[in-house]
Every structure is written in C-alpha cells, then in structure tokens.
C-alpha cells in the first residue's frame, strides 16, 4: 500500500470514529465542497443535505467494527458492522471516491441485520 493509500485508510477509520464521537467538524473538514452521498434512501444528495439527514442529534450508534477496508488510488471500499444504541446491529458496505486529500463521494450499500 502506498503512503497516500495508507493516509486515506487512516482517514476513513477517523471518519467512522468521528461519527461515533459526534464530531461533525472533523468530518466536514474531510469532505469536498461538492461532496455527494448516495444510498438506497438518498439519491446523490449534497453535503448540506447529508449533514441534515445523516447526522442525528441523539446517539443512534454505539460503534463501528471495520471488517474490511481497501484503498486503491482515488477509490476505497469499507465493509463494517455497526452496533445501534438499542442493541441491534447491521452490516453495510460503502464505496468512497477521493479528490486530492478529501472525500468527494460516498455510495452506501445496505446489508443485513446482524443482531
């Protein structure tokens, strides 16, 4: 893995940690101004809408367990198991694209409940 790929892998790990720690400021600094987010529930939403929809005011998740992370050039894939505050858990995959040292887009693919 190149130094740049290693830096991006660390950045992604920090992204998930910041989500758990409710550090929107840290994540905001990681995203490009024209960042987009897509999932089965959100079709190519912009940065502002992402923060409105995907950053709840109350803790919904307790932890992310990153099971697979691969970075190759300007793309990365992460598979994780997330534990919710109520004890339920689920597994998702996310595909990232980078622009320079920031995240330009994320596509989320929902997995199954794992509780």
What domains does the chain contain, in order, with CATH numbers?
3-113 (3.10.450.50)
pLDDT at 63: 93
pTM above 0.75, yes or no: yes
Q: For residue 51, give the nearest of 35, 71, 67 by alpha carbon.
A: 35
Tallying the residues shown for the chain, one arrives at: 115
CB 10 within 8 A of CB 30: no
Tens-digit pLDDT profile for residues 27-73: 999 999 999 999 998 999 999 999 998 876 666 889 999 999 999 99
The strand pair at 31-38 and 102-113 is best described as parallel
Q: What is the mean pLDDT of the chain?
A: 93
């Amino acid at each position: 893995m190149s130094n740049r790929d290693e830096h991006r892998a660390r950045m992604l790990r920090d992204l998930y940690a910041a989500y758990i720690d409710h550090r929107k400021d840290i994540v905001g600094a990681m995203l490009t101004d024209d960042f987009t987010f897509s999932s089965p529930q959100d079709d190519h939403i912009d940065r502002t809408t992402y923060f409105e929809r995907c950053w709840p005011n109350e803790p919904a998740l307790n932890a992310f367990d990153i099971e697979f992370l691969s970075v190759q050039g300007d793309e990365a894939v992460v598979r994780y198991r997330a534990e919710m505050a109520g004890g339920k858990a689920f597994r998702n995959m996310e595909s990232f694209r980078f622009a320079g040292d920031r995240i330009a887009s994320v596509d989320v693919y929902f997995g199954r409940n794992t509780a």
